[in-house]
Amino acid sequence: MSDFKYIITIGREYGAGGRTVAKRLSELLDIPYYDKDIIKITAEESGFSEEMIHDTEESEAGRSFFSWFLPTGIANSSDQAIMAQAHTMRNIARKGPCVMVGRAADYVLRDFPNLINVFVCAEDKDKIQYAIDTFGDTPEKAAKRVRHVDAARQSYYHYLTSEKWGDLTKYDLTLNSSPIGKEACADVIIAYAKAKEAKEGQ
């Protein structure tokens, strides 16, 4: 599907497999996908350190994007790093179809045409098992890790957008990877994109 025209954003719960779904989409559609490399690109272009940019993703410091455009809005260094990352994401999207994971991409790119926003969730037991398999956590520590990361993502999304992370009304597709697996989630997204394109062509 080299003529694929959409930019796909993937919001995801921790351990639900959003990155795996993105990689699968990238392979099947022959389009690039971006996740943590967004941090590296932003650091190279902005002069902020990768560590600082990464830390803003787990911080509640900052303001809604709305305030950055007000005359009285003065961005601190964390705000500037977040804005630099958003600028990088928009520049990437301007180059053409891609898959972008996390970082409130659905909001950052909300004015782009040909956008498909997806949220991937999973059952708690599978998210906890992911943490156990990845880090060797005990079940108790794994459950805590899942709660912590999801809470950080929720906070990050909220202060950037003033909206609720994972709100079903904000996405074109919300997929539970537990019943069907991550690869099948990618297949569903592609089927949705084909159906969307066919309808738009009518």
CATH code at 111? Answer: 3.40.50.300
User: What is the tally of structural domains in the chain?
Assistant: 1
Whole-number Å distance between alpha carbons of 197 and 114 = 9
What's the pTM?
Answer: 0.88
Decide if 29 is inside a domain: yes
Residue 164 lies in a domain: yes
Q: b/e per residue, 132-144, with b = 16+ CB within 10 A?
A: beeeebeeeebbe
Query: For every one of its 202 residues, what pLDDT tens digit does the chain have, with 9 covering 90 and above?
Result: 468 999 999 999 999 999 999 999 999 999 999 999 999 999 998 888 888 888 776 544 444 444 444 344 545 777 888 889 999 999 999 999 999 999 999 999 999 999 999 999 999 999 999 999 999 999 999 999 999 999 999 998 988 888 999 999 999 999 999 999 999 999 999 999 999 999 998 7
Q: Please report whether residue 195 resides in a domain.
A: no
- Phi/psi region, residue 59 (left: phi>0; alpha: psi -120 to 50; beta: rest), is beta
Task: Give domain status of residue 77, yes or no.
Answer: yes
Q: Does residue 2 fall inside a structural domain?
A: no
Q: For residue 193, is it within any domain? A: no
Flag whether 11 is in a domain: yes
* The CA-based dihedral angle spanning residues 134, 137, 139, 142, taken in that order and rounded to the nearest 10 degrees: -70
On whether residue 202 sits in a domain, the answer given is no
Domain that includes residue 118, residue range: 7-187
